[in-house]
């Protein structure tokens, strides 16, 4: 019989694979932040699976343009807002209009998340 080696096995270093958001690394997301300013990551969950979309905040010009479009066609206004603010999406969202609509709903929730207060001076 062979004598068992009592020397402990050396631990192999773990390989940590970074979680990508919309296929982007943290460095790529930071580059988008530098280029576009504040970003919003929206989670769209269906059947226990989460998909992501990254949006920039709309500018006054984008809001004005989509508001004008919205007077005649709310769906086209939503499409215009999506197309002007989306920076990256998971491929599962990209090919599905309803998933895009739900992602846009997340951006709308962000826009409604601000609270303000007013005081007289």
Digitized pLDDT (tens) for each residue of the chain, 121 residues in all? 555 555 555 666 676 666 788 989 999 999 999 999 999 999 999 999 999 999 999 999 999 999 999 899 999 999 999 999 999 999 999 989 999 999 999 999 998 888 889 999 9
d(CA 109, CA 105): 6
Distances (CA, A) of 120 to 45, 104, 114, 115: 43, 36, 20, 17
Query: Are the beta carbons of 73 and 79 closer than 8 angstroms?
Result: no
Indicate the class that CATH gives domain 26-111.
alpha beta
Confirm whether pTM is higher than 0.85: no
What lies within 8 Å, CB to CB, of 115 at 6+ separation is none
What strands, in cross-sheet order, belong to the sheet with 49-56? 39-46, 49-56, 86-89
């Amino acid at each position: 019989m062979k004598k068992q080696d009592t020397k402990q096995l050396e631990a192999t270093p773990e390989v940590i694979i970074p979680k990508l958001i919309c296929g982007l690394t943290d460095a790529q997301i930071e580059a988008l932040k530098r280029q576009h300013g504040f970003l919003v990551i929206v989670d769209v969950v269906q059947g226990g699976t989460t998909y992501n979309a990254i949006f920039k905040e709309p500018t006054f010009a984008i809001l004005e343009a989509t508001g004008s479009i919205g007077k005649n066609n709310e769906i086209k206004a939503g499409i215009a807002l999506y197309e002007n603010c989306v920076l990256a999406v998971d491929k599962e969202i990209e090919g599905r209009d309803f998933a895009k609509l739900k992602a846009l709903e997340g951006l709308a929730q962000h826009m409604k998340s601000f609270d303000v207060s007013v005081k007289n001076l």
